[in-house]
Each structure stands twice: as C-alpha cells, then as structure tokens.
Amino acid sequence: SAVISQKPSRDICQRGTSLTIQCQVDSQVTMMFWYRQQPGQSLTLIATANQGSEATYESGFVIDKFPISRPNLTFSTLTVSNMSPEDSSIYLCSVDSGTDTQYFGPGTRLTVL
C-alpha cells in the first residue's frame, strides 16, 4: 500500500484567506484525488488531479475556488480560496495504487472563522 502524508494536519483560518494543502506519496502514482468531508458527513470527490494537465472537477466544484496542482507523480496541492465558514471540513487526498484500490491520507482538518 502507498504511504500518504498531508500538510498541514489542521489549521484555523480567517474568512477571505486561502490555504494550500499538500499531499505527498511515497511512490509514483497515476491517479490522485481530492475529497471533502464536511462535519458529520460522508466524503465527496472534489476533483481528480491529473499529472501534466488540468484537474478534472466534479459537479459543484470549480477551479477558481479549489485550484489544484500536480507537478509530478508523487505530489499534489489543493488550495481552498477565499474561504468562508462553510469551507470548514476535512480535506483528504487519495491515490489509486494501480491495483484498483484507493488509499487515503490522514486528512487536513480546516476550520474557518
């Protein structure tokens, strides 16, 4: 299984600011994903991070609000822009190991005041 780390593990931010979350994998992977888990809720896919091209966003999520970078096969970032309290969630990255299994990072717990 892949070992995935995320930074920061948690943060408290002010309304209107932006936060960039990093996801690092210990091996090269083709597919990386970003999910959001709102308080007491299940996980919702934000986007698929594609290496060398723009991310593919799910319905209800847009690039201006959640810009994503994928500079190489082991790293991706998700930025939560112009934050509001409604963005308070856990943000998780996951990777497809190539054997049709997805492994998740520990998550970034974001609180927006």
- Give 65: exposed, middle or buried? Use CB within 10 Å, 0-12, 13-18, 19+: middle
Strands (E), 14-74: 19-25, 31-37, 43-49, 56-57, 68-72
- The DSSP secondary-structure symbol of 87 reads G
- Judged by CB under 8 A, how many residues of this single chain contact other proteins? 23
Least CB distance from residue 35 to other proteins, whole Å?
A: 8
Least Cα distance to 15 among 89, 90, 85 occurs for: 85
Least CB distance from residue 102 to other proteins, whole Å?
A: 6
| Residue 40, token pair as written in the block | 């007491």
Does 101 contact other proteins by CB under 8 A?
Answer: yes
Does 73 contact other proteins by CB under 8 A?
Answer: no
Does 95 contact other proteins by CB under 8 A?
Answer: no
**Window 44-63: residues binding other proteins (CB under 8 A):** 44-45, 48, 56, 58
Q: Which residues bind other proteins (CB under 8 A)?
A: 1, 31, 33, 41-45, 48, 56, 58, 92, 94, 96, 100-107, 109
